[in-house]
Amino acid sequence: QQPFLSVKDLKVHFSTEDGIVKAVDGLSFDLARGKTLGIVGESGSGKSVTNLTILGLHNPDSTEVEGSITLDGQELNGASESTLEKLRGNKMAMIFQDALASLSPYHTIGRQIGETYRKHTGASKQEARVRAIEMLRRVGIPQPDRRVDDYPHQFSGGMRQRAMIAMALVCDPELLIADEPTTALDVTVQAQIMDLLKDLQQEFGTSIIFITHDLGVIADIADDVLVMYGGRCVERGPKEEVLRTPQHPYTWGLLGSMPTLDGPVDVPLTPIPGSPPSLLNPPSGCRFHPRCAFANKVDGNRCATESPVLEIVDGRGNACHLTDEQRREFLADLAASK
Ligand code: SF4
Ligand code: MG
């Protein structure tokens, strides 16, 4: 049986004045109905680009997209703009980090939610208003029948984020892409928004792609985790496994600064030195090698010369030259140092 969303060997390359930027370079993953995939990585790792490409929101003039993206059996790579336009909002929707930038300051919250609904359903203005109030209620806005006539600036940051979620879900999309939706919010509101997303997923059966730079944020919500680095997947697996027994040195670095699944522990911050690679001239071999503390543990100069292959068995795997035995040893050291 075909997975609900299937991305196969996706490559997204941009032409720039300086050359070709390989923002995504051979990415594959599946997402089942009603499940959540967390995509984790630093900014510039390709996670946002991947998802804008799924939605067809990339610039077709400067972007070359290779590979396959199928949603419910329908190929999206190469689909016409009108096809994608119909799918966006209706079958797939997105929420962004910045609700203020996504909402128009000139129209009421109710009108903006209602317009999305009308566009895809042909509902009347009155029906759309009723639907908007209903959605605001579902996302936990108090007194929705009054707040529906407010403008975005009259909402708090957390309420605007809820309103954006209401707008994204107004047509019952089957796929929701959330790109760092809670990053700008304080921790309490962040937790409320995550709970809301989980509740709505239960209610609507939505599949979710949750993009974040913070593994801790998805510890709660994701079923599977995909770690991206330099436009590629470096590790993938069920959330519990990735968080409890991470395999890739980059994931170890990400985990060094987060509370674990078992609750917040006193972990000394072990930030990864250096910065993400240029995707104009990516490093040779393993793209992580200039920053990897373990590159010298691998025989020869393989990390700098040979690109590790991502091998996924039963949904679990990593792209690194370390052997399982070396990995166990280093992880034990890492745990002992905490
Ligand atoms: Fe580090 Fe080498 Fe593994 Fe890359 S392949 S993550 S450089 S040990
Ligand atoms: Mg981003």
Look at residue 265 in the predicted model and tell me its pLDDT: 38
Whole-number Å distance, alpha carbon 48 to ligand 2 midpoint, is: 4
Whether residue 274 contacts residue 291, with contact meaning beta carbons closer than 8 Å, is answered with yes
- Provide ipTM, 2 decimals: 0.94
Whether the CB of 4 sits within 6 Å of ligand 1: no
β-sheet bridge partners, residue 19: 16
Are 105 and 151 in contact by the 8 Å Cβ rule? The answer is: yes
DSSP state for residue 104 in the 8-state scheme: -
Q: Whose CA is nearest to atom 5 of ligand 1?
A: 320
Render pLDDT for 1-11 as a digit per residue (tens, 0 to 9).
789 999 999 99
241 Cβ contact partners less than 8 Å away, ≥ 6 residues apart: 316
Sign of CA dihedral 24, 251, 95, 223: positive
Tokens of 78: 């190469």
Class of domain 5-91+173-336: alpha beta
Q: How confident is the model at residue 338 (pLDDT cuts 50, 70, 90)?
A: low
Q: Is the CB of 308 under 6 A from ligand 1?
A: yes
Contact criterion met (CB below 8 Å) for 228 and 45:
yes
Kindly report, residue by residue over 107-147, the tens digit of the pLDDT: 999 999 999 999 999 999 999 999 999 999 989 999 999 99
Query: Which ligand is closest in space to the CA of residue 277?
Result: 1
> What is the reported pLDDT for 260?
45
| Domain parsing of the chain, residue ranges | 5-91+173-336, 100-172
Cβ-based neighbours of 251, under 8 Å, separated by 6 or more: 215, 227, 234, 235, 242, 318
Ligand 1 center from residue 17 Cα (angstroms): 31
Range with lowest mean pLDDT among 50-54, 64-68, 144-148, 248-252: 248-252
pLDDT digits (tens, 9 = 90+) for 303-334: 999 999 999 999 999 999 999 898 888 777 76
Helical pair 109-121 and 125-138, crossing angle rounded to 10 deg: 120
Ligand 1 proximity of 322 Cβ (cutoff 6 Å) = yes
In this prediction, residues 247-266 reach a mean pLDDT of 64
The Cβ-side half-sphere exposure at 253, using a 13 Å CA radius, reads: 23
- Helical residues (DSSP H) of 73-226, grouped into ranges: 81-87, 99-102, 109-121, 125-138, 144-147, 157-169, 187-204, 215-218
| Cβ–ligand 1 contact at 279 (below 6 Å) | no
Among 234, 252, 269, which Cα is nearest to 333's?
A: 252
